[in-house]
Structure 1
Amino acid sequence: MQVSANGIMLEVETYGPKEGVPLVLIRGLGSQMVHWPVELYEELAALGYRVVLFDNRDVGLSQRCPRGGVPSRAEEITTLATNGDAMRAAYTLDDMADDVLGVMDALGIAKAHLFGISMGGAITQILCLDHADRVLSATIVMTAARPLVARAQVAEMLPALLAEPVDRDTYVDNWVRDDAIYGSPGFPMSEAELRVQAGLAYERGFDATGINRQVLAVLTAPDRRAGLTSVAVPCQVIHGTDDALIPADLGAEIAGLIPRCDYHAIDGMGHVITPKLAPMMVELVQDFISRRAS
């Protein structure tokens, strides 16, 4: 269903009892709600949580959010970065945090547990920093608190992040290729599973320019490390030791900054939560909330 959130329209799905304790899942860069393993949200719903999934702005079935004068095409962004021009974003991760609050408002949710991965983990940090009164607990997964690269090195990282318009077959092939690099080798998905998932995502709404606007929001985000030392929300950090995109020591850094933060380093986990990882994620969330945030 579509809801009005923070002045835009976002695609939302809910699972579990309406009266259940809310648990909002926040996805990462360029991905959609269909990339969540069914085993993850259905098992959480079976435990009695009201699980909320949504497509971030600019992906899937949610609204596209261009801004006049701000580039969205990979070629334009790369040219600016190569020339050393200031990087501008159509919106910020703070705007995307406000989107989460907008989804909660639309569903009548005053406070929620959060589970955010990658870019969604950065958004989760912002919510803990600036909107702690809306957060019951936070599970921060496969992400960082600092900029991934110095501003002067942004141009070097762009080719791995920016998206180009492609046809369905190429998109699916690229998804399979990237999983071999960034996936979770100890908890793998089969190629057939990956192809089905990628095909569905493409058909729902692959948009290279939307993904590129998310890239700019990530790359222009400020360092959050100093602020995290004062977070009072119950938090846990989960990070894979096989993460080829964001090194595990950056997750450990977050856990070391947030007071009383739990930390779980998962061997065999990369930068993807797969169906085989879902039971472990559910167990970690349930145990954490039972101990720290009930």
Structure 2
Amino acid sequence: MEHLLRLDDRTVLWAEERGNPAGSPLLLIMGANASGVVWPEPLLDRLGARHRVIRYDHRDTGRSSRVFADRPYAVRDLAEDAVAVLDALGVDRAHVVGMSMGGVLVQLLLLDHPDRLLSATVFATAALGAGLAGPDGASGQLPGPDPELLAYWQTMGEERDAEAELAWRVEHWRRLAGTVLPFDAAEFRALEERVRAHGGGARGTVAHALADQSGLDRGRELEANRVPTLVIEAPEDPVNPPPHAAHLVATIGAARMVTIPGMGHALPTSVLDRLAEEIEAHTAGVDGRASA
């Protein structure tokens, strides 16, 4: 079931819920400049067998409102949008899963809205105050993104026709996916075609790259977290390479880590079964303890 959720006089968020309506709610939070459609359908189907799965489009992505040009916002405001989605759908508490910037938003939820979370799962992300989630994107003692990827990002906002934009995006996924697992360009071209059809346009957004990052240097506060948190290490991630995941586990209280070999900063079919297994085991354990 699809929804258009009004936040204020200018902002509407697209959201979708599917799966088991009697299951515990599970909110998926995607990364920067990416709509909820980037979550793969097989993963949604797998998680939907036991959960009421909710995904949504961030502001300036997909079918949600384009507002940044007139009303610039901060990254931390995007975390409040996640709470607004839960409120609008009548969800008191949910398991939350965040990828990349979505993982940063989940950490803000752990700090500011722990009462709304049953559990948290994050992957391909950095701890608050570190890496791209640090002051001005500083990496500090942790490795930064691959230099070739950083150079490629400099071309993100360039003018391209629709076909060239599609080719740019497929190549971007190839660079994000890492070099260990085979890369299926056709799979990611089909993904980008779905994203384009969903959003109704060929051009992507760079709004989240421009959003205010103040208020993210809060990593030390995470030590007090008591929400069960799973950190999934993607060892081939060129954005947040090891030891970012280990640092995140050391930063967040009540956290543990598992590794998915070969996984990078992308969700190819080859990692979906293992990813779903780890998320399901984590949420099932929390639900089981709650029932007991």
Normalised by the length of structure 2, the TM-score is 0.84
C-alpha separation between the residues in 2 aligned to 1:152 and 1:123? 15
Q: Which amino acid aligns with 1:6?
A: L
**1:212 partnered with 2:214:** no
Counterpart of 1:126 in structure 2 is 108
**Do the aligned residues in 1 keep the contact of 2:61 with 2:205 (CA within 8 Å)?**
yes
| Percent of aligned pairs with the same amino acid | 30
C-alpha separation between the residues in 2 aligned to 1:267 and 1:227? 30
Give matches, 1:261-280, under 5 Å: 261-280=255-274
- SS of residue matched to 1:170: helix
Q: Which amino acid aligns with 2:35?
A: Q
1:240-293 deviations in Å (ceiling 9; x for gaps):
111111112112111111123110122210001222211111110111123345
**Do the aligned residues in 1 keep the contact of 2:76 with 2:213 (CA within 8 Å)?**
no
Of the three residues 125, 136, 146, the one matched with 1:151 is 136
CA change 1:212–1:136 in 2 (3 A) is: same
Counterpart of 2:144 in structure 1 is none
Give matches, 1:62-77, under 5 Å: 62-68=64-70
Counterpart of 1:282 in structure 2 is 276
Give matches, 1:174-185, under 5 Å: 174-185=168-179
**Do the aligned residues in 2 keep the contact of 1:168 with 1:202 (CA within 8 Å)?**
no
CA change 1:110–1:152 in 2 (3 A) is: closer
**1:160 partnered with 2:153:** yes
**Do the aligned residues in 2 keep the contact of 1:5 with 1:102 (CA within 8 Å)?**
no
Counterpart of 1:172 in structure 2 is 166
Give matches, 1:73-84, under 5 Å: none
**Do the aligned residues in 2 keep the contact of 1:3 with 1:103 (CA within 8 Å)?**
no
Counterpart of 2:81 in structure 1 is 99
Give the paired residue count. Answer: 271
Q: Which amino acid aligns with 2:16?
A: E
Task: Give the CA RMSD over aligned residues.
Answer: 2.5
Counterpart of 1:110 in structure 2 is 92
Higher mean Cα deviation, 33-42 or 106-115? 33-42
Task: State the 1:36 CA deviation.
Answer: 1.2
Task: State the 1:106 CA deviation.
Answer: 1.2
Q: Which amino acid aligns with 1:271?
A: H
Q: List gaps (5 residues or longer) in structure 2.
A: 140-146
Task: State the 1:188 CA deviation.
Answer: 4.1
Counterpart of 1:193 in structure 2 is 187
Counterpart of 2:61 in structure 1 is 59
Q: List gaps (5 residues or longer) in structure 1.
A: 71-89
Q: Which amino acid aligns with 2:43?
A: L
**1:4 partnered with 2:41:** no
Structure scoring higher RCO (CA < 8 A, sep ≥ 6) equals 1
- SS of residue matched to 1:269: coil
1:36-68 deviations in Å (ceiling 9; x for gaps):
11111100111x200001111111111112254
